[in-house]
Amino acid sequence: MARKRILIVANMSKPGVAQQIEALRPWFAQRAEVAEVVDVLAGEACTNVQADLCIVFGGDGTLLAASRHVAPAGIPLMGVNMGKLGFLADFSVEHMQKHLDDILAGRVPPAERMMLRVGAADGGQSFSWLAANDVAVAAGEPFRMIELSVAQGEDEIATYLGDGVVVSTPTGSTGYSLSAGGPILEPTLEAVVITPVAAHTLAMRPIVVRCDVPIRITTTRLNPGTTLVIDGQLSRPLTEGMAVDISRADCNARIIPHPGRTFFRRLTGKLQWGTSPHHP
């Protein structure tokens, strides 16, 4: 039987990450072949690497960046938290070592998480990006209210007046969208959340819509600094009249779940969701 191949994606700017990977190399070599070590946040690419598993050392941001690179190849991702929260990167180094043999043997199947495909055209130049968490249009300088028209297919949803709008996957529903007042979605659902940011009306609230019909955000009144932001990591300036098209991607982020923690246990443990207030 051929040996399994592991791709290691890391945020080398985090203290202790490079040293931890180097210390684990002999341990990894006993179980699999390390195909490559890549620092995606430093601009290194890993789209052509063949691997059976991608182990991510960093935090949630590193895992999001890795998912955009490896999702088209169907490579499962296992997040090892070397940062603070670690909501997506849910494994400690010790738990990674405890469960890796079972994961390589296929006894811990990945959870399929839908992603978004984002595209727009500006002056004849078009682009297309993947998003694992969310797509946001942010007002930018000079921070005046902007106006965005949002439609799904042939149906106009609303005209949003405020600081912008966030279109989120279920995975991203616990990120920017949640901070803006959006609902929490179970991460393996097939749906999209549209959340206004500081809407200029009490009648404008987040809405959950189907994911199989494309969404279009048309920019009708902007600031010079208005920006399209993908997963909080990729950005591009927007101009009035531009249309941002968002659709369900044809690939999923395949995230290895921690065998000892359900989604709701992580909500309670990491975000303190559903807990009672503590009085002195």
Q: Which residues are catalytic?
A: 60
End-to-end CA, the chain? 60
The CB density around residue 277, as the number of other CB atoms within 10 Å, is 5
How far apart CA 196 and CA 151 sit, in angstroms, is 14
> At 131, which helix (H) or strand (E)?
strand 125-131
How far apart CA 170 and CA 178 sit, in angstroms, is 11
Residues 6+ apart with CB under 8 A from 141: 223, 224, 225
Joined tokens for residue 68: 């955009």
Residues 6+ apart with CB under 8 A from 4: 31, 32, 33, 52, 53, 104
Q: How far is CA 240 from CA 2, 23, 31, 163, in A?
A: 54, 52, 54, 15
How far apart CA 231 and CA 246 sit, in angstroms, is 13
